[in-house]
């Protein structure tokens, strides 16, 4: 049991969560407006690759993040065009983007860097961790020093952005004009249309917001967490983010709790590897890996809580005559 540190679990939970939080907030905007966003995974992957490459070439992580925003928004616009203007099948479109990006990012990484679909290490171009003032001073105080230096402080800017986004998203969805229209389009687009809201415009805007938010998830993966792009490095984060939406009932605060919970599972999985526990013995990592997915299925089955999706989700809006 000595290797089992609560402290490092808490820290790695906070570092795992932003990947899911950005993607989940992105999905929240898209799905609350009535567009299913299965394509989160592909957008994460694309922005991870582009931001890692641009950050490496320019040796500037900020330019990397910016490029990631560009490519992820562009993909979101493709999705919006297909789902909103073309009234195509949104699920199929999302799957298509995921599969296409899984292939294309590898091909391009191989073409530009010749390292087996990996981008070179960013080293100095990685996003630095913020050291809050006074960390030195407090570092000797047992609990507070750790809390201030390693939990509240010592994180990258994107981690702070992820947590700051939560109240902002909550306010936007529930208290802004855009949020009200967004929810109206997701629940009853015909009513929104009758009230003079342009359903198409609102959904396009929501998809654009989703594209921007989702890009941070990929940039965080590549520029902060690993310092390079690796083939299929998102490893299902986009799908997990979707399931946190199911889990959180498409409400920002609850969804974030879901993200933190899945982040916690990820942290525990690394800690549990090869550790002998009392009673059960050693639990294989692959079984711990399963937990978030099994939990999602249980929630979906309505065994824990009833999760209600936005009513008009996945249905293209056809203006009535």
Q: Taken in order 283, 3, 241, 19, is the CA torsion positive or negative?
A: negative
Q: Which stretch binds other proteins (CB under 8 A): 49-57, 81-89, 157-165, 210-218?
A: 81-89
Q: Is 249 helix (H, G, I), strand (E, B) or coil?
A: coil
Q: Are 280 and 33 in contact (CB under 8 A)?
A: no
CA distance 58 to 298: 46
- 95 near other proteins, rule: CB under 8 A: yes
Q: What distance in Å separates the CA atoms of residue 259 and residue 12, rounded to the nearest whole number?
A: 13
Does the protein bind other proteins through residue 233 (CB under 8 A)? Answer: no
Figure out which of the listed residues 80, 242, 264, 272 binds other proteins, where binding follows CB under 8 A.
Answer: 242
* Candidates 48-56, 69-77, 99-107, 153-161; binding stretch for other proteins (CB under 8 A): 99-107
Binding test (CB under 8 A) with other proteins, winner from 196, 301, 320, 321 = 301
Residue 8 touches other proteins, criterion: CB under 8 A = no
Q: Is 104 in the site for other proteins (CB under 8 A)?
A: yes
- The distance of closest approach from Cβ of residue 303 to other proteins in the complex, given in angstroms and rounded to an integer, is 9
96 binds other proteins (CB under 8 A): yes
Applying the rule CB under 8 A, the residues between 153 and 212 that interact with other proteins are none
| Other residues' Cβ atoms within 10 Å of the Cβ of residue 40 | 33
Q: Determine the Cα–Cα distance for residues 108 and 120; give it in Å rounded to an integer.
A: 13
CB of 278 to other proteins, least distance (A): 21
Cβ-based nearer residue to other proteins, 36 or 169: 36
Determine, following the binding rule CB under 8 A, whether residue 77 of this chain makes contact with other proteins. Answer: no
Q: Is there binding between residue 243 and other proteins (CB under 8 A)?
A: yes
Q: Please pick, from the candidates 117, 189, 218, 248, the single residue that binds other proteins as defined by CB under 8 A.
A: 117
Q: Does 60 bind other proteins (CB under 8 A)?
A: no
For residue 265 the two structure tokens come to 């599972």
Task: Quote the CA–CA distance of 192 and 184 in Å, as a whole number.
Answer: 6
Residue 281: strand pairing partners: 277
Query: Can residue 318 be called a binding residue for other proteins (CB under 8 A)?
Result: no
Q: Is 303 helix (H, G, I), strand (E, B) or coil?
A: coil
CA atoms of 186 and 192, how far apart (whole Å):
9
| Cβ proximity of 75 and 50 under 8 Å | no
Distance CA 206, CA 22 (A): 14
Summarize as ranges the residues that interact with other proteins (CB under 8 A). 38, 82-83, 86, 88-93, 95-104, 106-107, 110-111, 117, 236, 239, 242-243, 246, 284, 286-287, 289-290, 293-294, 296-297, 300-302, 309
């Amino acid at each position: 049991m000595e290797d089992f540190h609560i402290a490092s679990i808490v820290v790695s939970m906070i570092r795992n969560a932003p990947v899911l939080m950005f993607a989940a907030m992105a999905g929240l905007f898209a799905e609350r407006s009535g567009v299913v966003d299965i394509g989160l995974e592909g957008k994460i992957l694309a922005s991870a690759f582009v931001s890692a490459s641009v950050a490496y070439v320019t040796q500037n992580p900020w330019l990397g993040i910016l490029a990631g925003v560009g490519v992820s928004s562009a993909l979101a616009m493709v999705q919006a065009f297909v789902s909103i203007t073309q009234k195509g099948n949104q699920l199929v479109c999302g799957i298509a983007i995921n599969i296409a990006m899984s292939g294309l990012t590898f091909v391009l990484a191989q073409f530009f860097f010749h390292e087996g679909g990996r981008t070179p290490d960013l080293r100095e171009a990685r996003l630095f961790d913020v050291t809050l003032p006074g960390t030195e001073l407090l570092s000797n105080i047992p609990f507070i020093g750790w809390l201030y230096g390693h939990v509240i402080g010592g994180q990258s800017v994107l981690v702070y952005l992820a947590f700051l986004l939560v109240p902002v998203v909550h306010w936007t969805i529930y208290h802004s004009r855009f949020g009200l229209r967004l929810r109206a389009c997701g629940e009853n687009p015909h009513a929104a249309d009758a009230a003079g809201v342009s359903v198409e415009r609102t959904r396009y805007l929501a998809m654009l917001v989703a594209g921007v938010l989702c890009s941070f998830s990929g940039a965080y993966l590549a520029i902060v967490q690993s310092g390079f792009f690796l083939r299929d490095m998102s490893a299902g984060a986009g799908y997990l983010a979707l399931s946190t939406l199911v889990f959180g009932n498409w409400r920002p605060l609850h969804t974030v709790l879901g993200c933190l919970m899945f982040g916690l599972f990820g942290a525990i999985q690394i800690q549990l590897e090869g550790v002998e526990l009392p009673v059960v013995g050693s639990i294989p990592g692959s079984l711990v890996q399963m937990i978030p997915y099994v939990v999602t299925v249980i929630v979906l089955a309505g065994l824990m809580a009833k999760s209600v999706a936005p009513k008009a989700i996945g249905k293209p809006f056809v203006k009535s005559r």
